[in-house]
Amino acid sequence: MSARTKLSLILLFAPFALWLGVLIIIPHIDMFLVSIREKIGIGQYRIGPANYMAFFTEPLYWNTFMRTALMSIAATLLTFLIGFPVAFYIAKVARGRLKTTLFLMVLLPFWVSELVRTFGWMILLRETGVISHTLQWLGLVHRPVELLYNDGAIMVGLVYTSMLFMVVPLVTTLDSLDDELIEAGYDLGGNGWSVLREIVIPHAMPGIVSGSIVVFMLSLGNYLTPVLMGGKNSLWFTEQIYQQFIVRFNWEQGAAFGFLLLFLSSLIVWLGLKITGQTLRETMG
């Protein structure tokens, strides 16, 4: 390789390396150093695991994380159950302009910010919102119904804000499935369920896993939706991190919680990959 070629490669990858180092690696190193500092006095610190141990010794923090993780897994499963039929229809049933239109309709809501979309759901679900008025008009309820500020509202918001990241990888994966394989499954005596189980889902597994990883990580790290749509008892772990950083000015504890969130979420993703028999290379390839 000539010196000129080497220089070209260095210049090509320099912006990416600079972005990776300045915005990701260096801040994470600094945040880790902050997380292992234990305050023992005004302006005095010592190195120790006290900030991490507080997570395991305080039931509120541990229970909040487990609750957040379980709800994020449920949101991922629900997103898949809703998104898979949509993706299958777009990839294997719709043709031509209809296919393009449907895919554009999936993308369209994400042209606006998450805050605007969350406020849109708040308008629909509030006591004086469209859904409450519709239920009264149909005679199903006799007074306004407050559908906000509970776990169900959080789940609606999480699924809606994550749907795109499940549908797109599924559409991409299912597009590569040869229609003749599906026809062969029916010709060999299979029914819809057996063809789905034996042909479609195994082929779409990389897209399912990659979409599930993205949706799970987005749900677990979501702050806006749980805070705006959840109630007083709808604790979310990112809210605990916010409380430590902004409300209590306890950056050491907040940094430790941030790293614990990263580590535990990565552990859950790793377990999911082991259970499904997939690898990151297969799902991201």
**Residue 89 belongs to domain with CATH number:** 1.10.3720.10
Contact residues for 148 (Cβ-Cβ < 8 A; gap 6+): 122, 125, 126, 127, 229
Q: Residues of the chain with pLDDT > 70: what percent?
A: 97
Backbone angles phi, psi at 23, to 5 degrees: -100, -15
Asked if pLDDT for residue 107 goes beyond 80, the answer is yes
- Decide if 135 is inside a domain: yes
Counting the structural domains of the chain, the total is: 1
The residue type of 76 is T
The yes-or-no verdict on residue 86 having pLDDT over 90 is yes
Rounded Cα–Cα distance for residues 267 and 282 (Å) = 18
What was the pLDDT predicted at 106? 87
Q: Is residue 199 part of a domain?
A: yes
Average pLDDT, the chain: 88
3-state secondary structure 49-86: CHHHHHHHHCHHHHHHHHHHHHHHHHHHHHHHHHHHHH
According to DSSP, residue 24 is labeled I
> Residue 68: is its pLDDT beyond 80?
yes
User: What number is the average pLDDT over the span 117-134?
Assistant: 88
Lowest mean pLDDT among 3-12, 138-147, 245-254: 3-12
Asked whether residue 69 is domain-assigned, the answer is yes
Q: Could you give the angle at the alpha carbon of 145 between the alpha carbons of 72 and 75, nearest 5°?
A: 10
- Give the residue-averaged pLDDT of 39-55: 84
Question: Residue 3's pLDDT is what?
Answer: 74
Query: Is residue 165 predicted with pLDDT exceeding 70?
Result: yes
Residue at 248 is within a domain: yes
Please tell me the predicted confidence (pLDDT) of residue 76: 95
- Reported residue count of the chain is 285
Domain that holds residue 272: 58-284
Say what the pLDDT of residue 184 is. 87
Distance (Å, whole) CA 61 – CA 241: 10
- Quick check: is 21 in a domain? no
Higher pLDDT, 234 or 41: 234
SS3 37: strand
- Count other C-beta atoms under 10 Å from residue 56's C-beta: 10
Q: Tell me whether residue 15 is in a domain.
A: no
Between 58 and 40, the more confident residue is 58
206 in any annotated domain: yes
* pLDDT 10s digits, 217-268: 999 999 999 999 988 778 899 999 999 999 988 899 999 999 999 888 888 8
Supply the pLDDT for residue 12: 82
Neighbours of 196 (CB within 10 A): 17
Number of H helices, E strands in the chain: 15, 2
Is the pLDDT at 279 greater than 80? The verdict is no
Q: Judge whether residue 108 has pLDDT over 70.
A: yes
Let me know: does 216 contact 15? Beta carbons within 8 Å: no
pLDDT of residue 284: 62
Q: Does a structural domain hold residue 208?
A: yes
Rounded (10°) angle between helices 251-276 and 59-88? 40
- What is the predicted pLDDT for the residue at 285? 59
